[in-house]
Amino acid sequence: MASDATPPGDNEVKVRRKRRQKEVKRKEIQVVDIEELTSDGHGALQEGRTEDALSCFNNALKAAGQLQDSRVLRACSFNLGPAYVEAGQPGKGLDLLQQAQPGPKADRLPDLQFNLALAHNALGQSREAADYFLHAAQLYRSQGDGRSEGDACMEMSRCYSRIQVRTGTRGCNLDHRQNQGQRQNHGPDWDGCKQVYTGVNRHTQVYTL
């Protein structure tokens, strides 16, 4: 039985093709805009212009929402989160960083783990921060990034110092013995960490789109 549907004419096909081409072009322009905003925001953050960085990263996130691309949205959330932590709004920063986690792969992204640690640290959650710093240090080591590993180790040691002040020597000694066992199994080399530490406190590495 023959179909009653009439095949589209040449003009209709051309119109559809032009619409698709315009949509592709629009998305390409949006991606370029997001990349430029991200670059500008990262530069502002490095120069200490936190409000400018927040403006750039927020605009990038809004543009990413129009793309409806989950990967780009996660990248923009990752960039915006640390900026809010830097601006003294760690709660908002932590929410954005949690949105940036790409499922199980999040546990294999050292910069994301480091920034989650910074957010918890700024919220006064030293134990949670220490756990994330430890995980970040292990991932940096696996990638051969000794400098970043050293940053994570030193930040982790500061967390344990604060825990010691709050809980007293006895409780922290127990933590120290437990962590000593962790280091013997799979943790970072603290002596090596101290040698490569350069005093950098912030990791604001940008996700590529």
Q: Is 90 exceeded by the pLDDT of residue 56? A: yes
Q: Is 50 exceeded by the pLDDT of residue 174? A: no
Please report whether residue 50 resides in a domain.
Answer: yes
- Supply the CATH number for residue 57's domain: 1.25.40.10
Cα dihedral 112, 118, 121, 126, rounded to 10, equals: 50
Average pLDDT over residues 64-78: 88
Please report whether residue 10 resides in a domain.
Answer: no
Q: Encode pLDDT of 8-45 as tens digits.
A: 566 665 556 656 655 555 556 677 889 999 999 999 99
pLDDT at 55: 95
Alpha-carbon distance of 81 to 57, in angstroms, equals 9
Residue type present at position 5: A
Alpha-carbon distance of 156 to 187, in angstroms, equals 12
Q: Encode pLDDT of 143-157 as tens digits.
A: 999 999 999 999 999
Q: Angle, nearest 10°, between helix axes 169-185 and 146-167?
A: 150
Last-in-domain residue among 40, 72, 100: 100
Mark whether 121 and 168 lie in a shared domain.
yes
Last-in-domain residue among 48, 68, 100: 100
Alpha-carbon distance of 155 to 200, in angstroms, equals 10
Please report whether residue 27 resides in a domain.
Answer: yes
Q: Which residues of 41-77 are buried (b: 16+ CB within 10 A; e: fewer)?
A: bbebbeeeeeebbbbbbbbbbebbeebebeebbbbbb
Mark whether 51 and 77 lie in a shared domain.
yes
Last-in-domain residue among 49, 69, 100: 100
Please report whether residue 4 resides in a domain.
Answer: no
pLDDT at 67: 84
SS3 category, 108? helix
Mark whether 207 and 131 lie in a shared domain.
yes
Mark whether 155 and 204 lie in a shared domain.
yes
Specify the pTM: 0.70
Average pLDDT over residues 63-88: 91
SS3 category, 89? coil
Domain residue limits at 137: 105-209
Mark whether 209 and 119 lie in a shared domain.
yes
Please report whether residue 1 resides in a domain.
Answer: no
The total number of structural domains that make up the chain: 2
Choice between 61 and 185, residue whose per-residue pLDDT is larger: 61
Alpha-carbon distance of 126 to 91, in angstroms, equals 14
pLDDT at 12: 63
Q: Is 70 exceeded by the pLDDT of residue 62? A: yes
Mark whether 113 and 188 lie in a shared domain.
yes
Mark whether 130 and 206 lie in a shared domain.
yes
